[in-house]
A and B are shown apart, each in its own frame.
Chain A
Amino acid sequence: MIARLIGDAKHVAVGAASPIPAAACELLRAKGRAIRVTRLHKRQGNPFSEGSRELFDLAGQGRIDSFFLGGAQIDGEANINLVRAEGRRFPGSFGSAFLYFTCRTILFREEHSRRVLVPKVEFISAPGWSPPEVQRRGGPVALVTGSALFAWQKDKRRFRLESVHPGHSMDDVRASTGFDFDAERVAETPLPSAEDLALLRSSVARQLACDYPEFARRVWGMESRD
């Protein structure tokens, strides 16, 4: 599904905490799509030679089409919070306050609960929308969780439920989402094809194991090789 959301982007960057989006990007590459995937977390052979600011310089110029962001909290206006919630401190905003403005952004968070999907975030690391005078090329396009897919409606500043993953119901999603959203003609999320699954479990798994060793161990049972 994430691979479908990436659409016809030519250059996608993937951050340190995003092994699942990284797998989606590598799946597209394994299927022969001419897509440039920049994995920021790559331990060896990342594409930058000007240091860690080069990513932001690239994004600032519009040379990165898509990016993924998550959040300790995400609200109904697509604001994201990576700083603090319910008295707990989280790592921090990373590049979100910049990259959300420069890239088509797929919001991604596995946990689908009222704790995460809240009516209003406690801290805005990066805003979901901006007034018209603020220059902004990018912003949210969709929100993917472990239960459902929402599309972002920029004009209405509201999410619309697109599909519910197999094994979950519309009622589950309503009950575990803290913000209000639109829902018409909600489909069931199609499962990945047998061909895609085979690729994910073979060449994609091998690609990711070096950079996300813990994820590869948990999901694919692979041991890291440094």
Chain B
Amino acid sequence: MDAVRALIQRKAKNLRLLGVPVLGMSADLLIGAGCVAEVHSSAVSLGEAGLAPRFSEAVERGEIKVVDYTCPAVHTALQATEKGVPFMPLRGVIGSDLVAGRADWQVAQNPFSPAKDPILLVSAIVPDVALFHARWGDAAGNVWVGRRRELATIAHAARNTYVTVEELRPGDMLEDELLAPGVISGIYVSGIARAEKGAWPLGVVGVYGIDDAHLAAYAAAAKTREGFERYLDEHVWQRKKSSLPA
């Protein structure tokens, strides 16, 4: 989230966001701050805090373009890129309005079936940048994400991967048999920056939890444009001056 606040402070424009497989508060902040042109995602929501208000309003007013996915189609499209193949098949989805009019999805006959067997083909997605927060980075340029393997999938598929981390460790985590399965190799990582409590108000499992009260307060404030601007003033523009969150 520190990286998201930094993007807003730098007045990023025309971003195309890909949710893997969904988006939440980060996307809502970026959309509200005018940084986003397109959203490709299975959903944008604040979870228990409710709808993502800046997203909903921007779509209803036609200010951003949305390409709707369903979760496994995002994973499949990135896995195709991981493997270097142009598309991968996915069951289900046929008959959903998600398929209609898309150039990057096609329904084809299963070539191995003698009977009629339509199946969805999903084109590979190559993101320009993978951006996420993780618990540890190390001196060898590796990042530890634990069981959050979808972050590894994005890193494998993206041209560049930038990661903020809670803590920097000396040494090489790939030499530790217990840590290695949760590591994304530095081969895929373009840059690491330390950002303590960098996920706030979201959490890092085992370090700090989600700040539910803050999320609820954001959801209420962002219902109006004025409330959202006040939130940005307090938590994005003001924060630029101090180095750490409260």
- Once the chains bind, are B149 and A50 in contact (CB under 8 Å)? yes
What does the 1/0 interface line of A16-29 toward B look like (CB < 8 Å)? 10000000000000
Q: Does B98 contact A (CB under 8 A)?
A: yes
What does the 1/0 interface line of B102-130 toward A look like (CB < 8 Å)? 00000000000001111100000000000
Q: Does A60 contact B (CB under 8 A)?
A: yes
Q: Does A166 contact B (CB under 8 A)?
A: no
Report chain A residues within 8 Å CB of B90: 98
Measured in the bound complex, the distance between the Cα atoms of B151 and A92 in whole Å is: 21
Within 8 A of A (CB), among B33-77: 41-45, 47-49, 51-52, 55-56, 59-60, 66, 68-73, 75
Q: Does A124 contact B (CB under 8 A)?
A: yes
Min distance, Cβ B53 to any Cβ of chain A, angstroms: 10
Within 8 A of B (CB), among A14-52: 16, 41, 43-44, 48-52
Measured in the bound complex, the distance between the Cα atoms of B214 and A226 in whole Å is: 14
Measured in the bound complex, the distance between the Cα atoms of B216 and A39 in whole Å is: 22
Residue from B44, B45, B91, B151 in contact with A101 in the complex, judged by beta carbons closer than 8 Å:
B91
With A83-B68, A102-B92 in contact, do A95 and B147 touch (Cβ < 8 Å)?
no
Q: Does A135 contact B (CB under 8 A)?
A: yes
With A53-B153, A56-B71, A98-B70 in contact, do A48 and B147 touch (Cβ < 8 Å)?
yes
- Once the chains bind, are B91 and A102 in contact (CB under 8 Å)? yes
- Once the chains bind, are A212 and B44 in contact (CB under 8 Å)? no
Q: Does B80 contact A (CB under 8 A)?
A: no
Closest to A44 in B: B205
Measured in the bound complex, the distance between the Cα atoms of B239 and A119 in whole Å is: 50
Measured in the bound complex, the distance between the Cα atoms of B204 and A43 in whole Å is: 10
A interface: dominant SS: loop
Report chain A residues within 8 Å CB of B167: none
Report chain A residues within 8 Å CB of B59: 84, 89
Q: Number of B interface residues at 8 Å Cβ cutoff, please give it.
A: 54
Q: Does A100 contact B (CB under 8 A)?
A: yes
Chain A-chain B contacts (Cβ-Cβ < 8 Å), number: 145
Q: Does A91 contact B (CB under 8 A)?
A: yes
Q: Does A220 contact B (CB under 8 A)?
A: no
With A91-B43, A124-B95, A124-B96 in contact, do A51 and B147 touch (Cβ < 8 Å)?
yes
Q: Does B148 contact A (CB under 8 A)?
A: yes
Measured in the bound complex, the distance between the Cα atoms of B94 and A87 in whole Å is: 25
Closest to B116 in A: A133
Q: Number of A interface residues at 8 Å Cβ cutoff, please give it.
A: 49
With A51-B148, A95-B70 in contact, do A89 and B91 touch (Cβ < 8 Å)?
no
- Once the chains bind, are B72 and A60 in contact (CB under 8 Å)? yes
Instruction: Enumerate chain B interface residues (CB-CB to A < 8 A).
Output: 20-22, 41-45, 47-49, 51-52, 55-56, 59-60, 66, 68-73, 75, 79, 90-98, 115-119, 147-153, 203, 205-206, 209-210, 212, 216
14 more contacts with CB within 8 A, not counting A43-B210, A87-B60, are A52-B75, A56-B71, A56-B72, A89-B56, A92-B42, A92-B43, A95-B72, A97-B70, A98-B71, A98-B92, A125-B97, A126-B70, A130-B94, A135-B91
> Can you pick out 9 interface pairs between chain A and chain B where the beta carbons lie within 8 Å of each other?
A48-B147, A52-B20, A53-B21, A84-B59, A91-B22, A97-B93, A125-B70, A125-B97, A226-B209
